[in-house]
Each structure stands twice: as C-alpha cells, then as structure tokens.
Amino acid sequence: MRDTIGWQEIGEDGLKYRIRVSPSRNPRAGDALFWRRLHRRADGWQPFDPTPAHWALLLEKVKARYTRREVPYEAIGHVIALARAADVKLDAGPPR
C-alpha cells in the first residue's frame, strides 16, 4: 500500500473522527501502517490502536481501490498480512 486511505466515523464517545491510515515512508520501519485520527477540537492527528472493525474497513477500502484499478492486487494481500501480524482475522474474499 503506497497511498494514504481515510474515512470518517463516529467514535464510542459519540464524537466524529477523521481516520487516516498511511504507510511508513521510513525504510527502517518496514511495512508498518500509521493509524491516526483527528477530532475537530483536537490539536492534531493522534495515533490510536485500530480495532478489528477498522482493519475490516481498511480491507474494504483497498478492495474498492483495486476494483477501480488504483492499487495492484498485491495491496490486498499486504493489508491481510499486516492484519494477521496484528492478530486480526479478516475475510479474504474476492474483491467486489
């Protein structure tokens, strides 16, 4: 995954957050993904730990980008591998 992917959601606290998932640009960090969220009253992007629902939504977004030919098929496998490394099980069905 080379590009940043983002979406909006309502958090458990009832506040609206912008979520941003971006790949590491540092070669020493390997295949790390940076999960950040922003609330309009916050000072800046805050890192957070993603839930399995966040991983599933990221996979859905990557599959949608694959369908539009914006990312290669390997990006789907890359997200699944990173999720497995984070002990999250995802449905790896075919892209829509």
Read off φ and ψ for residue 72, nearest 5 degrees.
Answer: -75, 165
Q: pLDDT, tens digit, for every residue of 65-75?
A: 999 999 999 99
Burial of 60 (0-12, 13-18, 19+ CB in 10 A): middle
Q: Which residues pair with 92 in a beta bridge?
A: none
Q: What is the pLDDT of residue 54?
A: 95
Global pTM value: 0.86
Could you state, in order of their start, the residue ranges of all structural domains in the chain?
5-85
Q: Which helix (H) or strand (E) holds 71?
A: none
Q: What angle do CA 67, 6, 55 make, to 5 degrees?
A: 75
Q: pLDDT, tens digit, for every residue of 29-43?
A: 667 899 999 998 888
Count other C-beta atoms under 10 Å from residue 82's C-beta: 19
